[in-house]
């Protein structure tokens, strides 16, 4: 079983508004990410939200489990860890993605999972034009390690620590690099969907 964790607890300070709830495509930025994960290959999706409840309310009616990170000031790794602690015991691998990757697609999720399953590697990361992007997919055998390490570098420390166990999956879609942090980012991504 493969599970997904969506990181949606940030305060969106650079955007000036809750970026995950901004309109995008058929829904919102976060709604597009959740839609991309709604593929048969992903058995369960956990969305880690902040304490204010607005993002959790926006997920009502969606087939996701909400996990709350009560510390709005915490680092992203804290949200990753909260999501990992919520995983069911039969989860074999976990796909972790930021909630602000609005052009993530179901096809890209399928390609990443398929490559991971056939590789024998424990970590898979999409690569566009030589740059690693999101989401990161890794075996749950690394969960205890992520819970205990990488406070100084975040989740990117995992593939750095296990170079021999990383599968780089070449993709032709730059969406793996396209997160939304500022109003300019948002406008750029909206223009690219037209």
Residue with tokens 């829904």: 27
Q: What is the mean pLDDT of residues 24-53?
A: 94
Contact predicate 4/46, CB 8 Å: yes
Residue 193 domain flag? no
Region of poorest pLDDT, from 60-74, 82-96, 102-116: 60-74
CATH of the domain at 177: 3.90.550.10
Q: What is the arithmetic mean of pLDDT over 93-114? A: 95
Q: What is the pTM of this model?
A: 0.94
Residue 12 lies in a domain: yes
In a domain, 19, yes or no: yes
pLDDT over threshold 60, residue 47: yes
Give the per-residue pLDDT at 109: 97
**Residue 51 placed within a domain:** yes
Instruction: Answer whether residue 17 shows pLDDT above 70.
Output: no
Q: Which residues sit opposite 67 in a β-bridge?
A: 48
pLDDT at 189: 83
Q: Is residue 161 part of a domain?
A: yes
**Residue 160 belongs to a domain:** yes
Sequential DSSP letters for 4-68: EEEEE----TTTTS-GGGSEETTEEHHHHHHHHT-STT--EEEEEE-TT-HHHHHTTTSS-EEEE
Q: Are 124 and 109 in contact (CB under 8 A)?
A: no
Mean pLDDT score of the chain, rounded to an integer? 91
Give the total number of structural domains in the chain.
1
Domain membership of residue 101 as a residue range: 2-187
User: Tokens 């999720």 map to which residue?
Assistant: 109
Rounded to an integer, the average pLDDT of 91-111 is 95
Identify the pLDDT of residue 194: 47
**Higher-pLDDT residue of 17, 138:** 138
Residue 194 lies in a domain: no
Which band of pLDDT confidence, cut at 50, 70 and 90, is reported for residue 63?
very high
In a domain, 143, yes or no: yes
**Confidence (pLDDT) at 131:** 94
């Amino acid at each position: 079983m493969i599970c997904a964790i969506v990181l949606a607890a940030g305060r969106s300070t650079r955007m000036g508004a809750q970026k995950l709830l901004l309109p995008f495509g058929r829904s919102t930025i976060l709604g597009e990410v959740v839609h991309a994960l709604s593929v048969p290959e992903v058995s369960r999706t956990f969305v880690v939200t902040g304490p204010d409840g607005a993002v959790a309310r926006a997920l009502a009616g969606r087939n996701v489990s909400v996990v709350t990170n009560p510390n709005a000031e915490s680092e992203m790794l804290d949200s990753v860890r909260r999501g990992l602690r919520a995983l069911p015991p039969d989860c074999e691998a976990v796909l972790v993605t930021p909630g602000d990757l609005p052009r993530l697609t179901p096809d890209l999720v399928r390609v990443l999972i398929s490559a991971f399953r056939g590789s024998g590697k424990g970590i898979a990361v999409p690569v566009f034009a030589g740059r690693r992007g999101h989401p990161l997919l890794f075996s749950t055998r690394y969960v205890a390690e992520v819970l205990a390490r990488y406070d100084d570098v975040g989740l990117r420390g995992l593939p750095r620590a296990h170079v021999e166990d990383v599968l780089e999956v070449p993709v032709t879609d730059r969406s793996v690099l396209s997160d939304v942090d500022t109003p300019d980012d948002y406008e750029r991504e909206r223009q690219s969907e037209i």
